[in-house]
């Protein structure tokens, strides 16, 4: 990929992020915020709903990362350590390379967030507050194991919070120092790129495929909620 300062007159709009990917992104943001607020306020029924929805969203994203549009697929942006180090060196030296989708460093952030949210939500299924609330799968764990998993649930949240903060800071750092707006394209789906870097053809997956995948993952999450 080449370098792009975001101001070139020879820039063209490229529809990078498909609608399912954008909806997933902002829905997950809402779920994480909702989980944090309801957990802090002791609104455990809603906390569970947000957690189950987040888990359904993560499973959806994992599937969409295989069958989705070109830049949603993990194969398009997940790279090895060598590519990540090369990207960091080039960016640090002022030659910030342009990527249509996630850059190699951003890919690590995506994977870390998916892993942490999935872990946090799964642990919550077995959690208990020792007063009124028991997760939908508490009965499979029992008191002792549930106590351990509940402790892990709180610890993973602290790690997740740190990763989210780093992610947000990085997004604004890209905007301020590298003049690379990562927020607007995740709203509109369109990113402006240097003409020579713009892909000639982008593989798309119909939105109805995403709808089917999400309905199935949401149904599975709802079924889990009925087990409690």
**pTM (whole model) above 0.85:** yes
Mean pLDDT of the chain: 93
What gap in Å lies between CA 18 and CA 206, rounded to an integer? 9
Question: Structure tokens of 219?
Answer: 């149904």
Q: Where are the domains of the chain?
A: 13-225
Q: What is the mean pLDDT of residues 58-69?
A: 98
Whether the predicted pLDDT of 1 surpasses 50? no
pLDDT band at 9 (very low <50, low <70, confident <90, very high): low
Whether the predicted pLDDT of 212 surpasses 90? yes
What gap in Å lies between CA 205 and CA 199, rounded to an integer? 16
Helix axes 138-177, 19-40, angle to 10 degrees: 120
Q: Which CATH architecture has domain 13-225?
A: Up-down Bundle (1.20)
pLDDT digits (tens, 9 = 90+) for 144-200: 999 999 999 999 999 999 999 999 999 999 999 999 999 999 999 999 988 888 888
């Amino acid at each position: 990929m080449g370098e792009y300062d975001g101001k070139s007159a020879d820039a063209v709009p490229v529809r990078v992020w498909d609608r399912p990917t954008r909806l997933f992104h902002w829905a997950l943001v809402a779920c994480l915020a909702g989980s944090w607020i309801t957990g802090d306020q002791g609104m455990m029924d809603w906390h569970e709903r947000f957690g189950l929805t987040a888990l359904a969203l993560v499973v959806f994203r994992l599937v969409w990362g295989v069958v989705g549009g070109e830049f949603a697929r993990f194969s398009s942006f997940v790279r090895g350590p060598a590519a990540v180090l090369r990207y960091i060196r080039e960016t640090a030296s002022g030659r910030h390379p342009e990527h249509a989708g996630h850059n190699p460093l951003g890919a690590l952030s995506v994977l870390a967030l998916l892993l942490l949210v999935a872990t946090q939500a799964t642990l919550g299924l077995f959690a208990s507050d020792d007063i009124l609330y028991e997760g939908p799968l508490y009965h499979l764990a029992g008191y002792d194991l549930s106590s351990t998993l509940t402790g892990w649930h709180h610890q993973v949240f602290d790690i997740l919070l740190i990763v989210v903060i780093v992610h947000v800071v990085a997004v604004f750092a890209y905007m301020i120092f590298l003049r690379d707006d990562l927020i607007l394209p995740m709203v509109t789906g369109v990113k402006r790129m240097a003409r020579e870097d713009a892909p000639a053809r982008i593989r798309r997956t119909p939105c109805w495929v995403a709808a089917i995948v999400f309905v199935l993952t949401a149904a599975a999450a709802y079924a889990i909620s009925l087990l409690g």
